[in-house]
Amino acid sequence: MTTSISPDARRIWSAGRGPVLIGLIVLAAAIVIALVSSGGEEDALDPESASPQGSRAVARLLEQQGVQIIRANSIDDAAGAVNGDTTLLITNPNWLSAEQLSVLSEESGSTVAIAPTGGAVDGLAPGTGRSGLVEPENRQPGCSFDAAGAVYIGGVTYEARTSCYDGTVVRDGNVTLLGDASPIVNDTLDEEGNAALALRVLGEHRQLVWYMPNLNDRAVGGGDNEGDQSLYSLIPSAWWFALGQVGIAVLLFMAWRARRLGPIVTEPLPVVVRAAETTEGRARLYRRAKATDHAADALRRATISKLIPMLGLSSDASPAAISEGVAARTGRPGVEVHAVLFGPPPTTEEALVQIADDLDALANEVGSH
């Protein structure tokens, strides 16, 4: 019988619980960051949401002016609701294809789109080009929207025949493009003339179709209209940021735990160390840990590895074959030999010393015959 000296589950947990706990803390922090970063996106531009990025305030103002708001949550709902006497608001046109946007804008009396880019601009206003991005600030109209006065707006800027507010508001036919959603969200509706501009562009007709594209529309529409939409593009950007933070933390942890960061360098020892120093040090560790079982197992394995070539056996010989070979060579009973080589582990230091003496005597007897 042999006793394994491999680390058990308790020792593995004691050695690894520190890194595991650190990893769990990093993962939890990443999830919290992702949730906080993406918080509020679900209610953004929702006409029923009172959150800072919602649009309940402007929706109520429009209703007070006699505008009926029809909420559309899919492209089919939007296509069925628009007609020549409706205004269509598209909160995220970049989720739709240029063809879908073109069809919707042609069917509606007027169309308002929030911050379209790429192919979305081509589908809505082919004669309009994108010129850049600007930070939100108070801007003067400089066009036919002067009745609204100064407006707090920023985001995407465009180049078009009718360009207002430094290019953040443009009109091409019956299509109006807004650089960002500042004029219609609760948080900035009361800034300067934002409410007046929102009522003018959204209240042209007695009905307003408030279209908020969903993921199904996005998958069908081809995403940003610059190529087929992949599964990875559906993941919110905040989650990619959190994943990057986790990756950096893992790399830093690996660097911290690394034993060496370069090739092994040999150095002369300051003193000469006896060859038996390692054996004695290991024995002291076994004694301090009271690991008599591990010590006995090491002694038995060393003795067996010495006996096998003496007996002419293969390295994978069974315990029974080894015991029989030793018994035949020494004349001892097989049961006695098996107890010395494969018996139960000792529980005291005295028993360990006795096993060491018995193993040494057994090896000497086999070597002398």
Domain locations along the chain = 41-224+232-240, 278-368
- Over range 25-46, report the average pLDDT: 69
Of 23-32, 177-186, 260-269, 283-292, the range with the highest mean pLDDT is: 177-186
Nearest CA to 103 out of 220, 231, 233, 227 is that of: 220
- Over range 202-227, report the average pLDDT: 73
What confidence score (pLDDT) does residue 220 get? 52
φ/ψ bin of 280: left (φ > 0), alpha (ψ from -120 to 50), beta (otherwise):
alpha
What confidence score (pLDDT) does residue 226 get? 45
The contacts of residue 138 (CB under 8 Å, 6+ apart) are 150, 151, 152, 191, 192
What confidence score (pLDDT) does residue 35 get? 63
pLDDT band at 4 (very low <50, low <70, confident <90, very high): very low
Look at the block and give the residue holding tokens 């790399």: 251
What confidence score (pLDDT) does residue 234 get? 58
Of the two residues 280 and 82, the one the predictor is more confident about is 82
Query: pLDDT of 89-114, one tens digit each?
Result: 999 998 898 899 999 999 999 999 99
Low-confidence winner among 238-247, 256-265, 292-301, 359-368 (lowest mean pLDDT): 256-265
pLDDT surpassing 90 at residue 206: yes
- Over range 177-189, report the average pLDDT: 92
- Over range 112-131, report the average pLDDT: 90
For residue 10 the two structure tokens come to 């308790």
What confidence score (pLDDT) does residue 251 get? 85
- Over range 117-123, report the average pLDDT: 90
Angle at which helix 56-64 crosses helix 194-202, to 10 degrees, equals: 60
pLDDT surpassing 60 at residue 222: no
Q: φ and ψ at 8, to 5 degrees?
A: -85, 180
- Over range 203-208, report the average pLDDT: 93
- Over range 133-157, report the average pLDDT: 85
β-strands 175-178, 169-172 pairing: antiparallel
Query: pLDDT of 56-91, one tens digit each?
Result: 999 999 999 999 999 998 999 999 999 989 999 999
Q: Give the whole-angstrom CA distance, residue 130 versus residue 159.
A: 6
pLDDT > 90: percent of the chain: 33
Low-confidence winner among 167-181, 189-203, 257-271 (lowest mean pLDDT): 257-271
Of 3-12, 137-146, 216-225, 329-338, the range with the highest mean pLDDT is: 329-338
270, with CB counted inside 10 A (0-12, 13-18, 19+), is exposed
